């Protein structure tokens, strides 16, 4: 049986505010006066859709027009779902709001398309008393001391830098006051995560790692490299680090190791948590999970393209040692 996430969790900005950020960022593409421009966007969306259907992820994002089309079509609904999912987990909210009153660091693997960035910003923003126009009222003057920063590292094999730049400009302009925007530090990086070492990723300093709709893609491209990467997390992440893995419910593929075939999630659990019956020996523990959870977009949201609901499988792990 599927669970359901609430349409809006008060830990994040309201859904329409999240959607409005995309509308402002891609105003020319979504609301351009020239009919040819809108038709061109639809053509690009159909081309990206065809690549995704064929699981040709590199082809889907090999130029800026396709990347913008994807961001206009799919990222807004994903951002809503991710914001609801992040807000559902108190430990994740604590990281994204710097609740411990110290700098926090997040690594988003395959996070270039804007959905993770906007979802994270939608939770960070209301946590800044007297800094954000959406801030919750502070209880005392001392609550105005918000010197801690949230450091977000977006690593993606496609080059999303121009999309990220456009989104960040609007996050600064419409969500966070510019004099405090420095506390939201975002580093986009166009690289293959499987070729990066632990030092380049600052694994020992991370508080949260997200793998959202990315694990299937990684294992499809490089099975051995993906296994080595998970083992690298075992070795180099610090105690208390969180790892959130999300995929479409029921979409996890099977993978052959030696002569045996396993569900991919079983392989990941084994690498991170240990063999079945020996989980206490693993480096990570599962602190939240669901095989099927829905996020349904509200019917009254104003966006020119249909917003699709999302049914996901998720695992939230925490590093034990």
Q: State pLDDT tens for residues 59-115.
A: 999 999 999 999 999 999 999 999 999 999 999 999 999 999 999 999 999 999 999
Share the mean pLDDT of the chain. Answer: 91
Q: CA triplet 295, 300, 306: central angle to 5 degrees?
A: 65
- Order across the sheet with 208-212: list the strands: 3-4, 284-295, 310-319, 242-248, 208-212, 104-109, 150-156, 184-190
For residue 298, name the pLDDT band (cuts at 50, 70, 90).
Answer: confident
Domains in the chain with CATH codes = 3-22+75-319 (3.40.50.150)
pLDDT given at position 130:
57
- Distance from C-alpha of 205 to C-alpha of 189, rounded to nearest angstrom: 18
Mean pLDDT for 197-210 is 97
- 264 token code pair: 């991919």
Q: Calculate mean pLDDT across residues 8-19.
A: 96
Neighbours of 142 (CB within 10 A): 8
Q: Which of 147, 74, 149 is nearest to 116 (CA)?
A: 74
For tokens 């249909």, what's the residue? 306
Rounded distance, CA 269 to CA 272, Å?
5
d(CA 196, CA 203): 11
Give ∠ CA 97-115-172 in degrees, rounded to 5.
60
For residue range 121-161, list pLDDT tens digits in order: 999 999 987 556 676 654 544 455 567 999 999 999 999 99
Q: How many helices (H) and strands (E) does the chain have?
A: 13, 10
Tokens of 276: 């079945």
3-state helix, strand, coil in the chain (%, to 5): 45, 20, 30
How many beta carbons lie within 10 A of that of residue 310, not counting itself?
22
The phi, psi pair for 51, rounded to 5°, reads -60, -45
Residue 180 has pLDDT above 80, yes or no: no
Is pLDDT at 27 greater than 60 in this prediction? yes
Phi and psi at 65, nearest 5°, equal -60, -45
The answer, yes or no, to whether residue 164 has pLDDT greater than 90, is yes
Ordered alpha helix ranges (H), 103-257: 115-124, 161-174, 198-201, 215-221, 223-236
Which helix (H) or strand (E) covers residue 153, if one does? strand 150-156
The radius of gyration of the chain's CA atoms, rounded to the nearest angstrom, is 19
Averaged pLDDT, 311-315: 95
Q: Give the Cβ contact number of residue 260 at 10 Å.
A: 7
Q: Is the pLDDT of residue 263 over 90?
A: no
CA 192 to chain centre: 17
Of these ranges, 1-15, 77-91, 241-255, the one predicted with the greatest mean pLDDT is: 77-91
Residue 1 has pLDDT above 90, yes or no: no
- Is there a contact between 188 and 161 (Cβ–Cβ < 8 Å)? yes
Question: Once rounded to an integer, what is the mean pLDDT over residues 249-258?
Answer: 79
Percent of the chain with pLDDT over 90: 74
Residues β-bridged to residue 223: none
């Amino acid at each position: 049986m599927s669970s359901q996430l609430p349409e809006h969790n008060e830990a994040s900005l309201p859904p329409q505010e999240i959607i409005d950020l995309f509308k402002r960022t891609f105003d020319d593409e979504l609301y351009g006066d020239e009919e040819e421009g809108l038709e061109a966007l639809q053509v690009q969306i159909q081309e990206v859709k065809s690549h995704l259907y064929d699981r040709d992820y590199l082809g889907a994002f090999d130029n800026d027009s396709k990347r913008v089309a994807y961001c206009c079509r799919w990222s807004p609904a994903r951002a809503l779902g991710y914001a609801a999912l992040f807000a559902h987990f108190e430990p994740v909210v604590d990281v994204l709001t710097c609740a411990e009153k110290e700098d926090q660091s997040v690594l988003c693997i395959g996070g270039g398309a804007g959905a993770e960035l906007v979802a994270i910003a939608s939770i960070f923003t209301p946590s800044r008393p007297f800094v954000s126009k959406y801030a919750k009222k502070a209880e005392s003057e001392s609550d105005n001391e918000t010197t801690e920063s949230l450091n977000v590292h977006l690593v993606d094999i496609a080059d999303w830098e121009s999309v990220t730049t456009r989104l960040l400009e609007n996050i600064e302009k419409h969500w966070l006051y510019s004099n405090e925007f420095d506390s939201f530090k975002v580093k986009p990086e166009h690289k293959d995560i499987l070729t990066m070492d632990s030092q380049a990723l600052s694994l020992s300093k991370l508080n949260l790692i997200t793998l959202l709709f990315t694990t299937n893609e990684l294992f499809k491209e490089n099975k051995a490299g993906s296994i080595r990467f998970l083992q690298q997390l075992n070795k180099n992440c610090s105690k208390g680090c969180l790892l959130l893995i999300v995929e479409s419910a029921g979409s996890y593929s099977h993978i052959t190791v030696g002569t045996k075939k396993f569900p991919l999630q079983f392989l990941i659990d084994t690498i991170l948590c240990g063999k079945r019956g020996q989980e206490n020996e693993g480096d990570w523990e599962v602190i939240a999970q669901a095989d099927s959870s829905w996020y349904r977009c509200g019917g009254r949201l104003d966006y020119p393209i249909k917003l699709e609901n999302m049914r996901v499988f998720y695992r939230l792990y925490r590093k034990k040692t």
